[in-house]
Amino acid sequence: MDELIAGLLRHRGAVLEPNQLAIGTPSIRPLGRISEPPIGLNNGPARMNSTVWHAPDGWTILDRVELDRWIVDALPGQHWILSERPLAANLRIPEKPGVELVIWDPEMLSNWLGEAILSGEIVAKISNSDSNQGLDTSSEAEEIRLESAWFESIRNNLCTMSPSVDLETWIERNPIGNVRPTAVLVEARVWSVMGILRGPESNTERAWWGILESPLFDTFEIIEDPLFLGHRPDLRILPPTAWMEESIVLENIARVTESRKTYSPDSMSSVRLQGIWSLDPSSTEIDAVPVLIPAWIMEVPGSSTNILNAVNGNLYPFTSGKFM
């Protein structure tokens, strides 16, 4: 994140100079002193001679105790702290003669980064002075726009996913007795997830995923280019007994988006290695829309009742009492 923030500032016209006198704390570190303000923030926190600080993501909140520790060594002048950590409730910013302090919380930071990356303002690669690696924001923004087009098309309508299973063929291939099928629709959610994947050697890649959450089918999985019906069938809709809490959603997002990808150990090497790429939680932006999944309740007299997902063809246990 240090490189991303510094790179965005530089590509918006800022000049960041090292400030050897900026001490900071282990969890609030200096990124540099602004000798030329960036475009768009001239009247904001990024003023001439402001020192930029970064508080990386962590388990704890940013509270008064830590800021008191930081301000002891803060030099007179203007300071701008960009925090990935939530600020303590009712935080009172400490004061010191000659020190002017502005703090951006995670929401302000993520909004600024997201707007800068996706607005099209930045058409060059973002990189630090020591590396040619970075984010080609123009091409990545276009790729994300194309990948997420189907999600945007269903944002304002309750759409039904298109079935891919032929019931008669499925029953022929999966004999389960004298079944009595009943067509239904199962309520689910599609999550739009955007964020930065971080790999080995400080490699980064901005990416987007569509993720289907279906409590009734107990699934949480990435889906690509799903098909939707042009109409909603007049069928009974089965709601979930409960949706996942957002904290659990975020845990599952981290799990399903982690992947093994190739990377180059340095910009001059033709060697490609494999490594684990994980989603940076501080960069994650999520949104959700409801969808309907076509299904059949498969009732076999004298036996257990199951439900067949008409999109993926999988059979799941079903207790009708929960959905009466």
pLDDT at 321: 55
The per-residue DSSP string of 240-257 comes to -S-PPPHHHHHHHHHHHH
pLDDT band at 253 (very low <50, low <70, confident <90, very high): very high
Phi first, then psi, for residue 132 (nearest 5°) are -95, 0
Average pLDDT over residues 105-133: 58
Which SS3 state, helix, strand or coil, does residue 41 take?
Answer: coil
Residue 133 has pLDDT above 50, yes or no: no
The 10s digit of each residue's pLDDT in 275-288 is: 888 998 877 889 99
Q: How many whole angstroms separate alpha carbon 79 and alpha carbon 49? A: 9
Nearest to 80 by CA among 55, 52, 61, 58: 52
Which of the residue ranges 3-7, 65-69, 209-213, 243-247 would you say has the lowest mean pLDDT? 3-7
The 10s digit of each residue's pLDDT in 192-234 is: 998 888 888 777 888 899 999 999 999 999 999 999 998 999 9
Average pLDDT over residues 24-40: 81
Nearest to 16 by CA among 1, 35, 3, 2: 35
Other CB atoms within 10 A of residue 227 CB: 10
Return the percentage of the chain with pLDDT > 90, whole number.
38
pLDDT at 282: 78
Average pLDDT over residues 169-197: 91
Q: Pairing relation of β-strands 180-198 and 237-238?
A: parallel
Q: How many helices (H) and strands (E) does the chain have?
A: 7, 17
The per-residue DSSP string of 224-241 comes to -S--B-SS--S--EE--S
pLDDT band at 88 (very low <50, low <70, confident <90, very high): confident
Burial of 68-84, coded b for 16+ CB within 10 Å and e otherwise, reads eebbeebeeebbbbbbb
Per DSSP, 51 falls in state E
Average pLDDT along the chain = 83
- AA identity, residue 239: P
| Residue-range domain boundaries for the chain | 2-135, 148-323
Which SS3 state, helix, strand or coil, does residue 9 take?
Answer: helix
pTM of the model: 0.58
- AA identity, residue 35: S
Q: How many whole angstroms separate alpha carbon 198 and alpha carbon 52? A: 23
Q: How many whole angstroms separate alpha carbon 312 and alpha carbon 17? A: 55
Asked if residues 93 and 81 have their Cβ atoms less than 8 Å apart, the reply is: no
Asked if residues 150 and 210 have their Cβ atoms less than 8 Å apart, the reply is: yes
pLDDT band at 258 (very low <50, low <70, confident <90, very high): very high
Token pair recorded at residue 287 = 């949104």
Instruction: Provide CB contacts within 8 A for 266, sequence distance 6+.
Output: 201
Return the percentage of the chain with pLDDT > 70, whole number.
84
Asked if residues 197 and 284 have their Cβ atoms less than 8 Å apart, the reply is: no
Q: How many whole angstroms separate alpha carbon 283 and alpha carbon 1? A: 9
